[in-house]
Structure 1
Amino acid sequence: MTGPGATRLRVGVYDLYWQTLGGGEQVDGSIAQVLAADHDVTLLGPEPPDVERTKERLGVDLSACGFRRVTDDHEASAASADFDLFVNGTYLSRAVNRAPIGYYYVHFPQVPTRRSDVVRQKLCIAGVRAMRALPGVQRSHRLGEVAAGFDRRIVRTDFLPSYTRFLSNSAFTAGWVERLWGVRSEVLYPPVRPSVTPGAKRNLILALGRFFDPVHGHSKKQLDLVESFVAMETRGEVDQWELALVGGADAKDREYALAVKRAAVGHRVRVHVNARGELVEQLLGEATLFWHAAGYGEDPDVHPDRFEHFGIALVEAMAAGAVPVVYAEAGPAEIVEDSVSGRHWREPAELRSITRCLIDDPGERERLSAGALSRAQAFGGDRFADQLLGHLTADLAAVAEPSITGDAGT
């Protein structure tokens, strides 16, 4: 290689969850797609992603990428040595990077918030040290398994120095990366490729997100939204308006989804669980307002993982012309500029008051809808690609040529 960017780089993009087609895979797939235009990209994971489904569901084209099977962080770390650039996009991964340049895309860092987690961490560290001190541990299969069990449960940060750059999905996440890991992280917002253009609006408030049960941690708080709408309905403040709640749910969240459905009975509230994509797009196009409540009732200093770290569905709704009314913390508060591209709320009474004002003032709705459309453009694929390639150009220039090529003398 005669200069930065003069030859094609070997790039590995690591994601243990390619098959889930979630928000993390949209980001990791977008990274792979952008880099595959000029470099040789290999996807790392347990199973190859379905290229057609990924393109259909996420709008990401992985057809130019190769695949290499790795099943865990240890295998990914070993594989990283074969690349010029290793990109780790696996949630909560602790894989050590062995490539000359390493990027870690942080969806959110691991948060040991409970006292029991801290105690467990200390016990496991002590257990590993004690087992190493015992004679015969290496020769005993049973004792070796106990030592390995302790070792797996330790929350490590020794992988951090191996990476060139940390990238986060929001300033909220970047702040917690610095707070928990002690490293600086650049904000690289996920690319949002809206599939819905603004259409004919009707008196519809939409909330879009999975039905996560709050007992398990992160929740979109759909039950709180139903309660707010019903309170407005009782006072005659949402006459001729409807609330639609749309999202997926699996077995462990079934009871919460059923509770939301029960609360909606007898009211102008429609609950769509595991709805088809066509219905989701239809409702996005029709919605006038978009409600968002993730993080409500939670303490960001105690449970930051229970907040919305970015908000892809929120940006999709804004791109479709809906006016967002969002809880004033974390990713949504960054995306939505209060009174410019939407509104912020902190208490349900404020959510109801803001909503009532927007219902009564079509001119204000139109103004904020235009602001939302404009703001959504800031989270497009072109901006994502430009930032990513800008980082790579800077890092290539900073790395000595022999360490990139590995065979500079030939």
Structure 2
Amino acid sequence: MKIGIYNRYWNTCGGGENYTGSVAEILSWDHEVELISIEPVDWGRLESRLHLDLSRCSMREWPNETCERLSPLSSHYDLFVNSTYSSSMMPRSKKSALICYFPHRIDALSSMRGQVRQWGRDLLAGNKRRLLRLNRLRGETVVPMTGVYEVEPDGRAWIASEAVLMMSSAATLEIPLWPEAYNGIETVRVDGEELPWLVEDNVLRVECGKIDKCRERMLSIFSKPMVMSELGLSSDSRRLGACIDTRSLNWGGKLPRKLHSPSESLRAYDRVISISHFTSEWIDRRWRLPSTELQPPIDTSLFDLDSSIQKEKIILTVGRFFAGGHNKKHHEIARAFIRMCQEGIMPDGWRLVFVGSRHREHQMHLDYFDRLTELCSGHPIDILPDLPFADLLTYYRKASIYWHGAGWGEHVEQFPERFEHFGMTTCEAMACACVPVVFDAAGQQEIVASEELGFRYSNYEMLAKQMGSLVNAPPENLAEIGKRAQVSIGRFARASFQERVRKAFSGLAY
């Protein structure tokens, strides 16, 4: 089975990419897996940083386009897996799955904003034809989506080794081919399903069976390419698959259809896979869809307690440095620690350590990091951006306490996406026998499930009280709580992830 896994944010190397990469690694043991990006990715860096083995996967780069324009490309796969946060791409493959870290809003207001943004992009690009939708249907309409070269003056249009055409729904699809031109067609798919085909009287015919008048067809054509320059026939170096005769077609016209709404696109997926119970609850509330829970894997053979490394008076917090969204509330955590030091709650010798990668793609993220640096200056706080993994692991092992603050100061009913959807770093810290002290909401409640495993706070006063008791407790008390926390993470162990992935993808890939 050919599986495509689409993620726009591979380069962030965040928790979502770790999760998706882990799923891809397991699926690649049994299937042909292609990892899809929209920009160049340093895959070696990603594998090293996230400790993944993607050697059995191939990589493909799609253009950085909207969901609507990329949708036809999903028809190249038997199973298309969309793991991009906030994506509502309509799947065109035979089978499909959406990995949901957290459900984005799909109400009328958010849809209107998306449409206005697209109109703005089209206007700036001078795409008046698309903006005003001037094309009208005149007979059989075929819209070239990808892998199609410009129509030549005589009406012929060459396609590449992989091409996608959009057509009106019909029981039989017919594409006229240029007489006596090269034809290397090997495989044909319609809406992701491989179907029998034949070429008769210079016409490619594909029997589709049942007609669905509510949607168009995506015809994917895969060909053995021919390069004329290599054969000495001309200087044309294009990889040509077949040649379409456009003279009797409404070539490039617009199909008489409305754009798919986000809700229609989401309902088209065969399965929605969520990363936590918190995410599943909001999928039901926002999308009114069922979901299958597949919690992220924790490599407990890697994240563990090293007896040769002594626990120190370190409070660790791990998370990417970025502004907005579900950021890790570094400023709130720093202020709380500074206040505890000033109030005498935090004894001398304790240090707060921030570890995480820096986001540099926007000035607001750079400003966020600069403000944090200024806030922490002169206090027993270390900020360690872009730390090598080996050093991060050492800090996990020597830290006594782990803090997590995502969601602090936010209202879960109003902005649930600002909370921790699961909390992989908390699990990693607990696997190294750190005592977790986390904000009492969302996915963190599923990890620190009881007082025996750690502490949950909802305001500064609770946090200060908990920390006062922890930092003044005998070391053996911290060690005992840390040991219980470590044992509890076994339920998320990577060793059982293969079985959990197979169960979550049962009926799709297994």
TM range, smaller chain:
0.7 to 0.9
Q: Is the 8 A contact 2:96 2:508 kept in 1?
A: no
Partner Cα distance (2:117, 2:339) in 1 = 50
What residue in structure 2 maps to residue 275 of structure 1? Answer: 387
TM-score, normalisation: structure 2: 0.66
* Residue 388 (structure 1) aligned with residue 501 (structure 2): yes
What residue in structure 1 maps to residue 487 of structure 2? Answer: 374
Moved more, 374-383 or 289-298: 374-383
Amino acid at match of 1:326: V
Partner Cα distance (1:55, 1:124) in 2 = 34
What residue in structure 1 maps to residue 81 of structure 2? Answer: 87
Aligned residues: 372
Q: Helix, strand or coil for the counterpart of 1:356?
A: helix
Moved more, 152-161 or 220-229: 152-161
Whichever structure has more strand as a proportion of its residues is: 2
TM-score, normalisation: structure 1: 0.81
- Specify which of 70, 79, 104 is matched with residue 62 of structure 2: 70
Amino acid at match of 2:90: V
* Residue 245 (structure 1) aligned with residue 354 (structure 2): yes
* Residue 59 (structure 1) aligned with residue 51 (structure 2): yes
What residue in structure 2 maps to residue 235 of structure 1? Answer: 343
Alpha-carbon offset, residue 331 of structure 1: 1.3
Unaligned runs of 5+ in 1: 1-8, 128-139, 398-410
Cα pair distance change 1:154/1:273, threshold 3 Å: farther
Q: Helix, strand or coil for the counterpart of 1:16?
A: coil
Alpha-carbon offset, residue 206 of structure 1: 0.9
Q: Is the 8 A contact 1:121 1:153 kept in 2?
A: no
Cα pair distance change 1:298/1:50, threshold 3 Å: same
**What percentage of residue pairs aligned between the two structures are identical?**
30
Unaligned runs of 5+ in 2: 120-125, 135-256
* Residue 221 (structure 1) aligned with residue 329 (structure 2): yes
What residue in structure 2 maps to residue 203 of structure 1? Answer: 313
- Specify which of 461, 473, 490 is matched with residue 349 of structure 1: 461
Alpha-carbon offset, residue 153 of structure 1: 11
Cα pair distance change 1:142/1:48, threshold 3 Å: closer
Cα pair distance change 1:123/1:44, threshold 3 Å: closer
What residue in structure 2 maps to residue 328 of structure 1? Answer: 440
Partner Cα distance (1:259, 1:197) in 2 = 33
Moved more, 78-87 or 24-33: 78-87
Moved more, 40-49 or 381-390: 40-49
Q: What root-mean-square deviation, in Å, do the aligned CA atoms of Structure 1 and Structure 2 show? A: 3.1
Moved more, 316-325 or 73-82: 73-82
Cα pair distance change 1:112/1:80, threshold 3 Å: closer
Q: Is the 8 A contact 1:211 1:257 kept in 2?
A: yes
The one-character-per-residue Cα deviations of 1:170-217 (angstroms, maximum 9, x if unpaired) are 11111111111110111111222354432310111111112333xx33
Alpha-carbon offset, residue 123 of structure 1: 7.7
What residue in structure 2 maps to residue 404 of structure 1? Answer: none
Cα pair distance change 1:122/1:141, threshold 3 Å: closer
Amino acid at match of 1:241: W
What residue in structure 2 maps to residue 256 of structure 1? Answer: 368
Moved more, 388-397 or 219-228: 388-397
Moved more, 326-335 or 17-26: 17-26
- Specify which of 131, 142, 154 is matched with residue 145 of structure 1: 131
What residue in structure 2 maps to residue 171 of structure 1? Answer: 277
Cα pair distance change 1:184/1:368, threshold 3 Å: same
Partner Cα distance (1:217, 1:46) in 2 = 22
Q: Helix, strand or coil for the counterpart of 1:77?
A: helix
Partner Cα distance (2:509, 2:390) in 1 = 43
Amino acid at match of 2:130: G
Q: Is the 8 A contact 2:37 2:60 kept in 1?
A: yes
Cα pair distance change 1:147/1:91, threshold 3 Å: farther
Moved more, 92-101 or 306-315: 92-101
What residue in structure 2 maps to residue 103 of structure 1? Answer: 97
Q: Helix, strand or coil for the counterpart of 2:263?
A: coil
Q: Helix, strand or coil for the counterpart of 1:219?
A: coil
* Residue 17 (structure 1) aligned with residue 9 (structure 2): yes
Cα pair distance change 1:295/1:375, threshold 3 Å: same
